[in-house]
Structure 1
Amino acid sequence: MTHRTVRDAAAGITVLAVANFVAITTEVLPVGLLPQLAGGLGVPESTAGLLVSVYAFVVAACAVPLTLATRRLARKPLLLTTVVVYTAANLLAAVAPSFAVVVAARTLGGLGHALFFSVSIAYAARLVSPLYTGRAVTLVTTGGTFGFVLGVPLSTSLGAAVGWRWSFAVLAGVCALTAVLVARLLPPVEVAPGAGEGASSDARGGRSRLGIVVGTNTLLFVGQYTVYTFISLLLLATGLGEAAVGPALLVFGALGILGLWAAGRYLDRRPRTLTLATIAVMVLALAAVALGLPHQGVVLVGAAVWLAAFGAVPAAFQTLALRARGASADVAGAFVNATSNLGIGLGAAVGSVVVAGPGLATLAWTGAAAMALAGAVVVVARQAFPHDPAR
């Protein structure tokens, strides 16, 4: 590979970041619209939360098989196809006459998502030289962060003002525009079919490191989405008005840029320190949310700190998986994609059980426990989470 810096690949990285924006917004859009979705479709809020689980489980089940099945296909047309699928899925949800059709739309979106992140993570890595992998992945992940910063809060506010169907319809339009950008501006990348890209002489050790990284990733996403899926209910329980939920999510998402900044600064220098510090902050912040409920000030501050720290997680674990050298870049990305969504689906399901059973007071403690277990794995697994990114 020629020596390509992030600046050299700026156009491609920007387009991938925009695509990440619509991908993340599509995935988590129901989070901010749970009350409206439940009321409009005539289902309990705990059942509406399963729209997140359905999407995530489809991704978890299909990411690796679809990535392997399409590994010989050109990357750019494949990425473009996934964005077109997002467009169709959101449009179907916007016109869905029943909860079952919304579930079908989310299933379709999940199939696109199963390939999107598997391809896009490796795509970002291929645009630059290996020395700049962490920074390139972090910049692409910025688009996903802005999905939380702008996409979900604005869609939530739109849904509260004129109805949840408009949120899906507008997002479908944004997805269509993104497909045009991908088609016109994203540079193609070369793929050597069947090559063990990213493989090393210690293949068994690489697979072991990759397994530990993606397993820990699963635990973190379980903890995250046990709580985040129902964050609108937590905020409402503090006395915050329904119209203020969207703006609150906007602020929380913006704070996630702080975590992303930390990832960009330290992923290519001190990945272990970054990972441990991020998990510790999230656990402590969720504990504050649990102890503070229903006091509005404490919950808002705790949630802000928790979500700011989580901003570093996607880029960190995507980069750690690539550097484990246990599989090709596409397959490593597929495992990160699959385990992230397995965690999202399990977390949303666990959260549904907690909300319907013990109640909101137990929600943040459950999420913190899963994250603390992930932190314990990082402490023990020094080879998978090294101080030196080059090893």
Structure 2
Amino acid sequence: MTSVSTPSARGIMPKPGRRLPLAALLIMALMGFILIATETMPAGLLPQIAHGLNVTEGTAGQLVSAYALGTVVLTLPAMALTRGMARKPVFLVGILGFFLANTVAAISADIALTLAARFVAGAFSGLLWGMLAGYARRITAPELAGRALAIASIGTPLGLAVGTPLGSWLGTTFGWRWSFGILSALTILTAVLALIIIPNAPGQRAESRISIAKVFTIPGVAVILVVIFVWMLAHNTVYTYIASYLRAAGMSLTVDVALVVFGVSALIGLWITGSLIDRAPRLLVLASVSLFMIAGVIFLLGSHSLIAVLLALVLWGVAFGGAAPQLQTAISEASGENADMANSLLGVAFNIAIFAAGVLGAVLITVYDGMVLPALMIGLAIAALVIVVTARRSAFPARH
């Protein structure tokens, strides 16, 4: 009897259709929302966490550092180990590992165990972030890849605009462990939805794999990573210490309201990016970095005007909202079949910028005050803009 060899039997994944796999992309966005909310939530709950674990607020603040450190240290080895595997099993294992680590952090009464759990959660977060961009593109037709990436990235601004304030409110109202617990429940829901809805996709072909060191040497990759670090260093320094700026400016505007304005504006920026990224990727990056710089100028010159500060928050949010898909698209296009490894480098660069922003911002506001932050924002934005303008061949070409 002759057996029939089907594509699935031979391990060949079906080609992506010509329509956006919207449900699958939204599930990826939900996972991104959970990752961002989990990373940033402790910052809004330091007094409660410190009291619950019987430690100082400074020690409790290391929950953020431990998470970022796990991402920086283990993302690249995890991506190198799994890049040849089918994407869906790796995605599901990453979600379940993240769930377990976050649940341990929710129930732990020991600060050492909690920090270890946060480190492991950061490692799984790095794996998930590293593969999300490539996975979203692989299940989508090439001409829609940029739009697909924008949809899959919507969880980032939503996490900043909604997840962090909501987690802080839940923690303040019901206890900080509830915030972690609810995120764990959402993680399990995401795993079930991913299992049912998200299609599988192949890993990277063996013959196209190169070492991490060689990924750096791919034309355009190193340049894009420098832009990511410079831009995100500026963003995270201002975002982390926005309270210091508002206080120095004498604003009656609260931090919560400022961050909500920023987050809503970021959603607008993401929508604009999703509409244009497949047609004008270079123009979008140039416009976003320019808007970011203009926001810094308005923060600096209009610091005594509530309307001016609100306008700067809006421009900042619009500029930052599309940054993730813009930069992920640029590095994916530059790196080709090594996009997963390149995107893992993107995540590492982002988290190194978070580390550096915390230290740099603390030094600046101690030596000066919050009004130095817009000056830093402007200076670093100019540096990023110069790099983007000059890197028009392989890093930020006019067309894909």
Of residues 204, 210, 215, the one that matches 2:221 is 210
Of residues 147, 150, 154, the one that matches 2:162 is 150
Q: 99-108 or 301-310, which moves further after superposition?
A: 99-108
Partner of 1:19: 31
Partner of 1:309: 319
Partner of 1:90: 102
Counterpart Cα distance in 2 of 1:32 and 1:179: 27
Partner of 2:242: 231
Counterpart Cα distance in 1 of 2:116 and 2:132: 24
Counterpart Cα distance in 1 of 2:257 and 2:99: 25
Cα 1:49–1:280 shift into 2, 3 Å = farther
SS at match of 2:200: coil
Measured after TM superposition, the shift of residue 381 of structure 1 is: 1.0
Counterpart Cα distance in 2 of 1:195 and 1:236: 56
Q: Judge conservation of contact 1:32–1:232 (CA < 8 Å) in 2.
A: no
Q: Judge conservation of contact 2:85–2:204 (CA < 8 Å) in 1.
A: no
Counterpart Cα distance in 1 of 2:369 and 2:346: 31
With normalisation by structure 2, the TM-score equals 0.84
Cα 1:368–1:385 shift into 2, 3 Å = same
% same residue = 31
Partner of 2:18: 5
Partner of 2:56: 43
Measured after TM superposition, the shift of residue 284 of structure 1 is: 2.0
Matching of residues 147-226 of structure 1 within 5 Å? 147-196=159-208, 207-226=218-237
Counterpart Cα distance in 1 of 2:301 and 2:46: 24
Q: Judge conservation of contact 2:262–2:314 (CA < 8 Å) in 1.
A: yes
Partner of 1:268: 278
Stretches of structure 1 that go unaligned for 5 or more consecutive residues are none
Counterpart Cα distance in 2 of 1:205 and 1:343: 18
Q: 156-165 or 58-67, which moves further after superposition?
A: 156-165
Q: 169-178 or 246-255, which moves further after superposition?
A: 246-255
Counterpart Cα distance in 2 of 1:205 and 1:159: 41
RMSD (Å) for aligned C-alpha atoms:
2.9
Partner of 2:9: none
Residue deviations 1:19-63, cap 9 Å, x none? 111122122223444565567665356x65554343223322322
Partner of 2:374: 364
Q: 292-301 or 27-36, which moves further after superposition?
A: 292-301
Measured after TM superposition, the shift of residue 317 of structure 1 is: 0.4
Q: 137-146 or 94-103, which moves further after superposition?
A: 94-103
Q: 91-100 or 251-260, which moves further after superposition?
A: 91-100
Larger Rg: 2
With normalisation by structure 1, the TM-score equals 0.86
Partner of 1:127: 139
Stretches of structure 2 that go unaligned for 5 or more consecutive residues are 1-13
Measured after TM superposition, the shift of residue 162 of structure 1 is: 3.4
Larger relative contact order (CA 8 Å, sep ≥ 6)? 1
Measured after TM superposition, the shift of residue 293 of structure 1 is: 4.8
Matching of residues 228-307 of structure 1 within 5 Å? 228-232=239-243, 234-235=245-246, 238=250, 245-293=255-303, 297-307=307-317
Residue deviations 1:216-260, cap 9 Å, x none? 11111111111212335545665658xx64454333212111111
Q: Judge conservation of contact 2:137–2:145 (CA < 8 Å) in 1.
A: yes
Cα 1:113–1:232 shift into 2, 3 Å = farther
Measured after TM superposition, the shift of residue 111 of structure 1 is: 0.5
Counterpart Cα distance in 1 of 2:194 and 2:108: 28
Measured after TM superposition, the shift of residue 314 of structure 1 is: 0.2
Count of matched residue pairs: 382
Cα 1:107–1:357 shift into 2, 3 Å = farther
SS at match of 2:218: helix
Of residues 371, 387, 393, the one that matches 1:383 is 393
